[in-house]
């Protein structure tokens, strides 16, 4: 007897449940879209905006790390979207602005600001 009641509840209660079940499905799909936006799309757009702001605020003399792991100092900012960086005394590389890693650069700057014990 309990199995039959459970089946009726799971199937939506027959004809009356079939009419009202569509509204729940739309709410459920809307909730899934909202969760995806909150946990996936929104953080990625915030991170992309922070990366863009970081790259646009670079100045000559800033210490940076590229996405390839190359450490250097910005020596010249070119008009064509490239940077001339000095990786060691007298050694210069020309890289794209988009090749700069915000995470590694900020980590390096925090480590440099913290005094060694």
pLDDT in tens, 2-61: 566 556 656 654 444 455 567 888 899 999 999 998 888 889 999 889 888 988 888 899
CATH code: domain 58-111 is 2.30.30.140
- Distance separating alpha carbons of residues 11 and 2, to the nearest angstrom: 14
DSSP calls for 20-47: HHHHHHHHHHHHHHHHHIIIIIHHHHHH
On the question of pLDDT at 99 being above 50, the answer is yes
Contact 58, 64 (CB under 8 A): yes
pLDDT reported for residue 20: 55
- The number of beta carbons lying within 10 Å of the beta carbon of residue 110 is 9
Enter the tokens of residue 99. Answer: 């090749």
Cα separation of 65 and 110, whole Å?
A: 13
């Amino acid at each position: 007897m309990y199995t039959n009641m459970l089946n009726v509840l799971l199937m939506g209660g027959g004809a009356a449940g079939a009419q009202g079940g569509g509204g729940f499905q739309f709410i459920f799909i809307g909730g899934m879209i909202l969760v995806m936006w909150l946990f996936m799309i929104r953080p990625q757009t915030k991170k992309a905006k922070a990366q863009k702001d970081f790259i646009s605020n670079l100045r000559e003399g800033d210490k940076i790390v590229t996405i390839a792991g190359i450490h250097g100092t910005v020596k010249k900012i070119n008009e064509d979207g490239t940077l001339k960086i000095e990786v060691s005394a007298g050694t210069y590389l020309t890289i794209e602005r988009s090749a700069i890693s915000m995470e590694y650069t900020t980590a390096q700057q925090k480590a440099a600001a913290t005094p060694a014990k």
